[in-house]
Amino acid sequence: MSYETTLKRYEAAGQGHLLHFWPTLDEQKRKSLLTQLNNLDIERVNRIFEKVNPKAKKSAAAHEEEVVEPLSDEVAGSVTGGDAEKWRSIGLEAIAAGQVGVLLMAGGQGTRLGSSAPKGCYDIGLDSHKSLFQFQAERISRLQQVAEQEMQKKPGSVIIPWYIMTSGPTRGPTVAYFEEHAFFGLNKNNVIFFEQGTLPCLTTEGKVILDTPSSVAVAPDGNGGLYAALRQPLVSGKPDTVLSDLDRRGILYVHAYCVDNCLVKIADPIFTGYCLQKHADCAAKAVTKTDPTENVGVIAHRGDGYGVVEYSEISDEMRRAKTGDKLKFRHANIVNHFYTTEFLRKVESFENDFVYHIANKKIPFVDMETGKTVKPDQINGMKLEMFVFDVFPKAEKFAVMEVPREEEFSPLKNANGAKTDTPDTSKQHLLEQHRRFLERAGATVAGDYKTVPIEISPLVSYSGEGLEFVKGKTFTKGGVISAVGEPGVTRSVQEQFEALV
């Protein structure tokens, strides 16, 4: 699109100031600015602002008037409810049929952990020094193997494609990390990288901010940007998208999760089977709130649908209300979701209904008189975000599965020294889980996670299966149990366990 056409379009949208410095720019900077503006759906940006700003008070009031109710038993089930084996079988059947894929939200950096690398590259301090990415890749490998064995499929025939959403800053380092480690044993053709979108930063009046005379200030569009990113070309200039790849592979069901949870059960067959039996098109896992005052959003029935209700949006009386010995509003959201691919395709049709969330920020901007970039010392603008759970109200059949926190949720948010969600707590929770794997298989571990730390490779066991041979054994030494074929491993799994007795 030419300069004249672009200027006309942006002036009509009330954003003509973005071309203010055009006469002063050289050819390269003109081309760069024009490309950025032509790739930007400025009319959509204006529509988003109209919803979040002039109508913000009305929207907030309407939200407050909606009746909030706890989840019914029809919607919310529990993994401990007795049907887990049946759900697991249904889920494994879908996995073995090649109908299940995985979406990973991995756009964050480990800034709070003191690292500029993608958070998935982080080593939480295990003796194996495996990163979050490696643990998750190996869980996929093992689950493929379990599905093959239990559903009597040929070795190597079951594939769970892994779609990894990065951000601009993490795309290059993430791809390089996977290439450097040979995709952790996965076929690289089944690991698909795509990028989270961005939205322009706005002033409080809805004007798009320039951060230099030739570039628009942008920020990631939130984890809810996942849905729009699924429709974007995987490679610039080519038509293939994540959605088209899902269709090409015949993927009917998708598990989505965040990279920072070391306990995540990727493509969990129990969760998948539960959702299939419920005929859910969108579903979420939840953990029970630790107490009424835990400051987390909870999944609840709101108005005509389902959604996540923030801690501040319900009264203290509602937070403490109980049915028997359980909190009524107890289903804490952990960003662990199930979708049908049909639902993911439909999101585009109702995306304009969403009201984006505002994050008020100090945003560097260019002085329109001098052309110099200014770093403000006060809040001067907003970043717009959509949350991944914003689609819940649009589900035709929504479901929630309540899972034990100690088995499935240990997020990594803070550096060591903080009270919660640190590398040390992640390591502790993972080692404690592996101890429970052994105890359920009939073994005894003569110490805690510090004195007898036993780490079990995901390539050995996905969730405690395949450990029957430890029954009756008492382990007095810590160590790492690896699969034959892992670097430096020559002894069988049984021999490695024997050395810890």
pLDDT in tens, 373-392: 999 999 999 999 999 999 99
pLDDT in tens, 10-59: 999 999 999 999 999 999 999 999 999 998 999 989 999 988 875 455 54
Q: Nearest-CA neighbor of 220 among 388, 418, 20?
A: 388
HEC sequence for 214-273: CEECEEECCHHHHHHHCCCCCCCCCCCCHHHHHHHHCCCEEEEEECCECCCCCCCHHHHH
Q: What pLDDT, on the 0 to 100 scale, is given for residue 395? A: 97
Distance CA(211)–CA(201), nearest Å, equals 9
Q: What pLDDT, on the 0 to 100 scale, is given for residue 55? A: 47
Percent of the chain with pLDDT over 90: 85
For the entire predicted model, the pTM comes to 0.93
The token pair at 312 is 């501040």
Distance CA(186)–CA(459), nearest Å, equals 12
- The residues, ordered by sequence, that sit 6+ positions from 347 with a Cβ below 8 Å of its Cβ are 227, 391, 394
pLDDT in tens, 111-138: 889 888 999 999 999 999 999 999 999 9
Q: What pLDDT, on the 0 to 100 scale, is given for residue 182? A: 98
pLDDT of 62 higher than 90: no
Distance CA(361)–CA(489), nearest Å, equals 51
Percent of the chain with pLDDT over 70: 98
Q: Tokens 């409080």, residue?
A: 204
- The residues, ordered by sequence, that sit 6+ positions from 308 with a Cβ below 8 Å of its Cβ are 297, 298, 299, 300, 333, 387, 389, 392
Distance CA(199)–CA(202), nearest Å, equals 9
The mean per-residue pLDDT over the stretch 478-496 comes to: 95
Q: Nearest-CA neighbor of 53 among 490, 381, 414?
A: 381
Q: Over the chain, what is the mean pLDDT?
A: 94
pLDDT in tens, 73-97: 899 999 987 799 999 999 999 999 9
Q: What pLDDT, on the 0 to 100 scale, is given for residue 109? A: 87
What is the dihedral sign for C-alpha 390, 228, 275, 193? Answer: negative
pLDDT in tens, 296-337: 999 999 999 999 998 888 899 999 999 889 999 999 999 999
Asked if 207 contacts 180 with a C-beta cutoff of 8 angstroms, the reply is no
Confidence of residue 424 (pLDDT cuts 50, 70, 90): very high
- The residues, ordered by sequence, that sit 6+ positions from 31 with a Cβ below 8 Å of its Cβ are none
Q: What pLDDT, on the 0 to 100 scale, is given for residue 64? A: 57
Q: Tokens 């989840």, residue?
A: 71
Confidence of residue 445 (pLDDT cuts 50, 70, 90): very high
DSSP codes of every residue in 84-136: HHHHHHHHHHHHHTT-EEEEEE---B-GGGT--SBGGG-B-S-TT--BHHHHH
Q: What pLDDT, on the 0 to 100 scale, is given for residue 65? A: 66
pLDDT in tens, 227-242: 999 999 998 888 999 9
pLDDT of 420 higher than 70: yes
